[in-house]
Amino acid sequence: MNKKQRNNINGWLNINKPAGVTSTKVVAILKRYYNAKKVGHAGTLDPLAEGVLPIAFGEATKTINYMMDAKKEYEFTVKWGEATSTGDAEGEIIQTSEIIPTQQEIQTTLPFFIGEIEQTPPAFSAIKIDGKRAYDLARQGKEVKIKSRKVCIYNLEYLGADTFRTKCSKGTYIRSLAIDLARKLGTQGHVTMLKRTKVGNFCIKSAILLDMFDNKVYKDGSEELLLPVEQVLDDIPVLDITNEEAASLRQGKTISFEPSGLTQGDITAVKSNGKLIALCEVGNAIIKPSRVFNL
């Protein structure tokens, strides 16, 4: 790879983040490795968590919101009888209980958490309160008040050995889910293992180990590992247009078009000669660009 190619790469990497590394550190490692101008991630993983961390390069950063909105899947292990200040093994023990739930009690309780639920994010989280991160306030010993929010748990199953698998909506905190589950069972609890196994169409089986980059295992051809920008747009209808229409969209202009099967307000991925041109909003016999790609 020459320097110019590294600086202008576009696409996605499906990274398997190891435990003990922050999501920001992963971005820094890959930005340095590829000498890329613009790199971002789609959804923070706790430092102690591992698993799928989608990384966007260049023009792919314009699609991060679509990956952030995607459903996510996790596996996690709970230690019963101890609540910690952070909701995971990193924090100090703040409450204890001698009650250890049985497998039958756990199975009976799970249905209470299926569907739309109210959840309060943990104090040690990246949520902003008056412009400051909650975890910064918590580390300063200040009282952190975070409003509860609605999230959706599509599936929650017990795998045995105090380990669970769940599929959930964006904004779900697994640490909070574990805390609430423990309380419902009449005890305390915190997360000791957290693995994200899927984000949208990025799964753990195809994720690339971060060490492969950190240890310079990949040399020639590492750009071939990148997935296309539109990888995260698989559930958005595609519209093909002419070169002339593509030129207008690139200039931010609205074009006349009546796409069949789409209604006003829909979003469509517009292509010309197989190349992604823009994300457009469908209007009344028109489409107008909301995101234009320089690919």
The per-residue pLDDT for range 33-79, each reduced to its tens digit, is 888 989 999 988 988 899 999 999 999 999 999 999 999 999 999 99
Query: Which residues pair with residue 84 across a beta bridge?
Result: 93
CA distance 273 to 288: 19
| Inter-residue contact 122 to 176 (CB < 8 Å) | yes
Q: How far is CA 120 from the centre of its chain?
A: 19
3-state class of 60 per DSSP?
helix
Whether the pTM exceeds 0.75: the reply is yes
The whole-number average pLDDT for the span 188-198 is 97
Query: Residue 71, Cβ neighbours under 10 Å: how many?
Result: 15
pLDDT score at 130: 65
Q: What is the DSSP letter of 236?
A: S
pLDDT at 292 over 80: yes
Per DSSP, which regions of 5-148 are E strands? 11-17, 39-41, 50-57, 72-80, 82-84, 93-96, 115-119, 128-129, 132-133
The answer to whether 220 is a known catalytic residue is no
| Mean of the per-residue pLDDT values of the chain | 89
Please tell me the distance from the alpha carbon of residue 168 to that of residue 23, in angstroms, as a whole number: 20
216: pLDDT confidence band, cut at 50, 70 and 90?
low
What's residue 2's pLDDT?
A: 47
Q: Which residue ranges form the domains of the chain, and what is each CATH number? A: 3-69+202-231 (3.30.2350.10), 72-196 (3.30.2350.10), 236-292 (2.30.130.10)
Sequential DSSP letters for 122-175: PSSSS-EETTEEHHHHHHTT-------EEEEEEEEEEEETTEEEEEE-TT--HH
The torsion angle over the Cα atoms of residues 18, 22, 28 and 34, rounded to 10 degrees, is 20
Give the residue-averaged pLDDT of 21-39: 91
Question: Given pLDDT bands bounded at 50, 70 and 90, which one contains residue 218?
Answer: low
* Beta strand segments in 200-237, E: 202-203, 208-209
What separation, in Å, do the N-terminal and C-terminal C-alpha atoms of the chain show? 18
Cα separation, 72 vs 42, whole angstroms: 11
Model confidence at 4: pLDDT above 70: no
Of 46, 88, 162, 180, catalytic = 46
